[in-house]
Structure 1
């Protein structure tokens, strides 16, 4: 008994000294490329307005990422920090929407460079409250850094049949590579009722055919004010605070900041629709 107690004490002390784990959420998309960028900018702005320390890491190679959208894609990247070509504080760019943006870039110089990039990313995320990754699941079925395998993953989907099919195929690829673990679903361009139908159908199919648990992260309606705000170079929550999309993003940010997705290995999904 004493040995078990000593072990538990030591483990508890290690956890306290380690401090809270950083919140890392990778967003993948089965929607047109511009939809994810718009969603992430508005989510980041909503979280920042609620008092959260937010960093968006653009880890896109093929897609139109947040750094490009906000005009900071040509700056130094996290990979250059890993190569000791610049300092970490030189690559974090604060944008008017209220959060920081960092470009990642994939390591292509072999295992040693990949390990250095992973360690640099670990240092970066420990300095920030919430890290949102604008991500891609590579053609080789990997993420740029290994910690993204075990962090939260949210798939953005719309109501179109093509988007739903693509999202399901992406979840299947993820589960085959990462094992049985939960994934979040965010439905955009949809009313709450439409989003609930999409989520319920996807959740049922994933549970039945993949043995994968999906968690609803909520929904954002189609709203012309989103496009108006983008043309102004602002977040919709700032430019048009009473718009339907602004209300949805504030609700999404509130749930997002308070509640992490179920821990890996837990069962029993949670739907946030109607909350």
Structure 2
């Protein structure tokens, strides 16, 4: 049932910059990660980007659950030719859609080889039709992503000012870098002021450079704001419910930075910092 035009895919690749895939790992609680991703996704769509959010975790608190995506219509079902692509993708709002990778969380070794290859093809085809792909995922016991394609994506680690969360975030970087080798990781700080966020980033960057030989870059930060929780209780994004809130301003400016970079040919490799001056 899935129909992939390889020639069209090649034309798109040659026509412009490669779509950005942002793979998010988090040292925070699941609901904090999902809340951040939902608000970021809405903000990115507001910037005019075509944003696809992919849930690989399939939990009660992952982005698919937050956006009411159906877990009986997944990309794995498309790979097995049991669903069409349009059935597997839910349009949330203009410019924003969401899909589930599978009905349950899967590991890198949890699929037979043929299903894994077909799923990777489905993923690559889907990525080619989006400006930005935001992936909500975890690493498994082998320190691997559920899809090998994510190894080549831009990996962003979400962290907070809590020392235990900083230690957990550093542990995630160490685990992934031990498998993938030297590559860059983004740091996004939640629930902190700009001064606190940049200090956290600087300390983590110094430790990662010294002990792991891994470069980090500062993606940005979102301040602590009660309006985020209030909006979640209303079933809305903070930018929709409270557009003047500090967090709304933060998400808008962070999204503007990411969207601008997505529309350019700029590659993050070698860029030491892409901080977002939020002015709050």
TM-score by length of 1: 0.89
Taking a change above 3 Å as real, the CA distance of residues 97 and 245 of structure 1, as seen in their structure-2 partners, is farther
Q: What is the RMSD computed on CA atoms of the aligned residues?
A: 2.3
| Runs of 4+ deviating beyond 6 Å | 13-16
- Comparing 15-24 and 162-171, the one that deviates more: 15-24
Indicate which of 58, 63, 76 corresponds to 1:66: 63
CA distance in 2, matches of 1:101, 1:75: 13
Indicate which of 124, 132, 135 corresponds to 2:134: 132
CA distance in 2, matches of 1:197, 1:55: 32
Larger Rg: 1
Taking a change above 3 Å as real, the CA distance of residues 97 and 128 of structure 1, as seen in their structure-2 partners, is closer
Aligned to 2:175: 173
Helix, strand or coil at the partner of 2:78: helix
Post-superposition offset of 1:274: 3.7
CA distance in 1, matches of 2:12, 2:94: 34
- Comparing 56-65 and 118-127, the one that deviates more: 56-65
- Gap runs ≥5 in structure 2: 1-9
Helix, strand or coil at the partner of 1:156: strand
Aligned length: 262
Aligned to 2:4: none
CA distance in 2, matches of 1:217, 1:166: 18
Taking a change above 3 Å as real, the CA distance of residues 90 and 61 of structure 1, as seen in their structure-2 partners, is closer
Post-superposition offset of 1:74: 3.0
- Comparing 43-52 and 16-25, the one that deviates more: 16-25
CA distance in 2, matches of 1:29, 1:166: 9
CA distance in 2, matches of 1:256, 1:16: 20
Indicate which of 234, 241, 245 corresponds to 1:243: 245
Helix, strand or coil at the partner of 1:95: strand
Per-residue deviation, residues 231-252 of structure 1 (Å, max 9, x unmatched) = 1111111111100000100110
Conserved? CA contact 2:70–2:100, under 8 Å: yes
